[in-house]
A and B are shown apart, each in its own frame.
Chain A
Amino acid sequence: MNLAVRDIRHSLGRFVLTTIGVGMLLMVVMGMGGIYRGLVDDALVVTRGVGADLWVVQRDTRGPFAEVSRLPRSLVDRVAAVPGVTDAREFVFHTIQREHRGKPLRMGVLGLGWPTDKGEGLPLVAGRPLAQNHFEVIADESLGLALGERLRLGKDTYTVVGLTRWLVASGGDGIACFTSRDAQAIQFDEPGESIRLERQARRARAGGIDFGRTQPGVLERASGPSGAVAALPGPAVSAVIARVLPGAKAGAAQRAMSGWGDVTAYTGAEQEELLLKGSVDRARRQILLFRVLLTIISAVIMALIIYTLTLDKLHPIALLKLIGAPNRTIVGLILQQSLIMGAIAYGVGFALGTRLFPLFPRRVLVTNDDLLRLAGIVLLISVVASLLGIWKAMRVAPNEAIG
Chain B
Amino acid sequence: MGEHLALEVSGLTKVYGRGHTEVVAMRDASMRVRRGETVALLGPSGAGKSTFLLCVGLINPPTRGTVAIGGWPMQDGPRSLGDLRRFRREHIGLVFQKSNLIPFLNAVENVQVVGELVGRPPSVARRRAMELLHALGVGPRALNMPTQLSGGEQQRVTVARALANQPSLILADEPTAALDSKRGRQVMALFRDVAHEHGTGVIVVTHDHRALDVFDTVYEMEDGVLRLATRAVIDAAVGQVRAR
Residue ID in chain B nearest A7 by CB atoms? B104
A12 CB to closest chain B CB (Å) equals: 11
Q: In the bound complex, what is the Cα–Cα distance between A401 and B54 (angstroms)?
A: 12
Question: Across the interface, do B100 and A321 meet the contact criterion of CB distance under 8 Å?
Answer: no
Which residue of B54, B60, B86 contacts A324 across the interface (Cβ within 8 Å)? B86
A334 CB to closest chain B CB (Å) equals: 13
A327 CB to closest chain B CB (Å) equals: 7
Residue ID in chain B nearest A327 by CB atoms? B82
Question: Across the interface, do B94 and A322 meet the contact criterion of CB distance under 8 Å?
Answer: yes
Is A45 located at the chain interface by the 8 A CB criterion? no
Q: Mark A369-401, 1 if CB is under 8 A from B, else 0.
A: 000000000000000000000000000001101
Pick from B23-31, B111-119, B212-220 the stretch touching chain A. B111-119
Is A196 located at the chain interface by the 8 A CB criterion? no
Q: Which residues of A contact B161 (CB under 8 A)?
A: 323
Q: Which residues of B contact A321 (CB under 8 A)?
A: 85
> If the complex has contacts A1-B109, A1-B122, A323-B89, are A10 and B104 also in contact, measured as CB distance less than 8 A?
yes
Which residue of B54, B87, B89, B100 contacts A325 across the interface (Cβ within 8 Å)? B89
B162 CB to closest chain A CB (Å) equals: 9
Among residues 89 to 106 in chain B, which have CB atoms less than 8 Å away from a CB atom of chain A? Answer: 89-90, 92, 94, 96-98, 100-105
Q: Which residues of A contact B86 (CB under 8 A)?
A: 324, 326
Question: Across the interface, do A324 and B85 meet the contact criterion of CB distance under 8 Å?
Answer: yes
Q: Which residues of A contact B135 (CB under 8 A)?
A: none
Q: In the bound complex, what is the Cα–Cα distance between A6 and B146 (angstroms)?
A: 13
Q: Which residues of A contact B122 (CB under 8 A)?
A: 1
Q: In the bound complex, what is the Cα–Cα distance between A320 and B89 (angstroms)?
A: 10
Among residues 317 to 343 in chain A, which have CB atoms less than 8 Å away from a CB atom of chain B? Answer: 319-327, 329
A13 CB to closest chain B CB (Å) equals: 14
Is B124 located at the chain interface by the 8 A CB criterion? no
Q: Which residues of A contact B112 (CB under 8 A)?
A: 1
Q: In the bound complex, what is the Cα–Cα distance between A1 and B106 (angstroms)?
A: 12
Q: Which residues of B contact A235 (CB under 8 A)?
A: none
Number of interface residues of A (CB under 8 A): 23
Is B233 located at the chain interface by the 8 A CB criterion? no
Q: Which residues of B contact A401 (CB under 8 A)?
A: 96, 100
Is A83 located at the chain interface by the 8 A CB criterion? no
Question: Across the interface, do B85 and A11 meet the contact criterion of CB distance under 8 Å?
Answer: no
Which residue of B82, B85, B116 contacts A1 across the interface (Cβ within 8 Å)? B116
Q: In the bound complex, what is the Cα–Cα distance between A3 and B59 (angstroms)?
A: 23
A321 CB to closest chain B CB (Å) equals: 7
Tell me which of A6, A11, A329, A402 has the highest count of chain B C-beta atoms within 10 A of its own C-beta: A402
> If the complex has contacts A1-B122, A323-B117, are A9 and B104 also in contact, measured as CB distance less than 8 A?
yes
> If the complex has contacts A1-B116, A323-B114, are A399 and B102 also in contact, measured as CB distance less than 8 A?
no
Q: Which residues of A contact B183 (CB under 8 A)?
A: none
Tell me which of B86, B88, B114 has the highest count of chain A C-beta atoms within 10 A of its own C-beta: B88
Question: Across the interface, do B94 and A326 meet the contact criterion of CB distance under 8 Å?
Answer: no
Question: Across the interface, do B82 and A326 meet the contact criterion of CB distance under 8 Å?
Answer: yes
Question: Across the interface, do A316 and B117 meet the contact criterion of CB distance under 8 Å?
Answer: no
Q: Which residues of A contact B60 (CB under 8 A)?
A: 399
Binding site for A on B (CB under 8 A): 50, 54, 59-60, 82, 85-90, 92, 94, 96-98, 100-105, 109, 112-114, 116-117, 122, 145, 161, 173
Closest 3 CB pairs of A and B: A324-B89, A10-B104, A324-B88
